[in-house]
Amino acid sequence: MKSLNFPLLARFDPVMKQHIERVESGQFSHSSYLGNVIQNKLIASISGKIMDTVVTEIKQFKYYSVILDCTPDVSHQEQMSVTIRTVKMDKAPEIKEHFTGFLIASETTGLGLSQLILKTLMELNIPFDDCKGQSYDNGANTKGRNKEVPARLLDKNPRALHFMFHGVYIP
């Protein structure tokens, strides 16, 4: 066999090994499912289904809090990670956190970040009125005298209390 695209997979799966050998030898005259376009479509499809399940669960528990953290990526674009925390009330309460993804923050002002959060929740069809808490890293727009992002979100929903990761609870 020539060079394998997925050597570990082929090494332990005889069917995959045979398939890769056929693809590399040119026996197939049609596209294979090993191509990046098909893989990306499959990943997007699975991701969409997972996100639908997560949003359904968040809505089932109704109230939630958001956890946001901003940091620049390797290309120096500001990324905001968004996690939503719920509490499942069963025999014993169970805290669940759902990572919903990274958002590119093209505008890092308090206005820009708060609009990005609200827009994302709206796109996920998660009502911000059900948010009962918000927490952030120690970013410039989330700490200090004005606490720009938390203050803007509190204006929209006074019950979305603000607390910090590395600080004391701040009502």
3-class DSSP state of 163: strand
In degrees rounded to 5, what are phi and psi of residue 109? Answer: -75, 165
| DSSP secondary structure code for residue 106 in this structure | S
Tokens 């169970």, located at residue: 94
Inform me whether the pLDDT recorded for 26 exceeds 80.
Answer: no
Contact 54, 99 (CB under 8 A): no
> Mean of the pLDDT values across residues 5-29?
76
Q: What is the pLDDT of residue 140?
A: 47
| Percentage, residues of the chain above pLDDT 90 | 19
Domains of the chain as residue ranges with CATH: 36-164 (3.30.420)
pTM of the model: 0.67
CA separation (Å) from 48 to 31, 37, 45, 53, 100?
Answer: 24, 16, 5, 9, 11
What interhelical angle do 110-123 and 148-156 show, nearest 10? 50
The residue among 159, 158, 128, 162 whose CA lies nearest residue 146 is 162
Question: What value does the CA radius of gyration of the chain take, rounded to a whole number of Å?
Answer: 22
Contact 137, 70 (CB under 8 A): yes
87-131: per-residue pLDDT in tens?
Answer: 888 888 888 899 988 888 888 788 888 899 999 999 999 999 999
47-60: per-residue pLDDT in tens?
Answer: 999 999 999 989 98
| Percentage, residues of the chain above pLDDT 70 | 80
In degrees rounded to 5, what are phi and psi of residue 170? Answer: -125, 110
Contact 109, 148 (CB under 8 A): yes
3-class DSSP state of 170: strand
Contact 86, 64 (CB under 8 A): yes
140-149: per-residue pLDDT in tens?
Answer: 455 443 468 8
Going by C-beta distance under 8 Å and a sequence separation of 6 or more, which residues neighbour residue 72? 78, 79
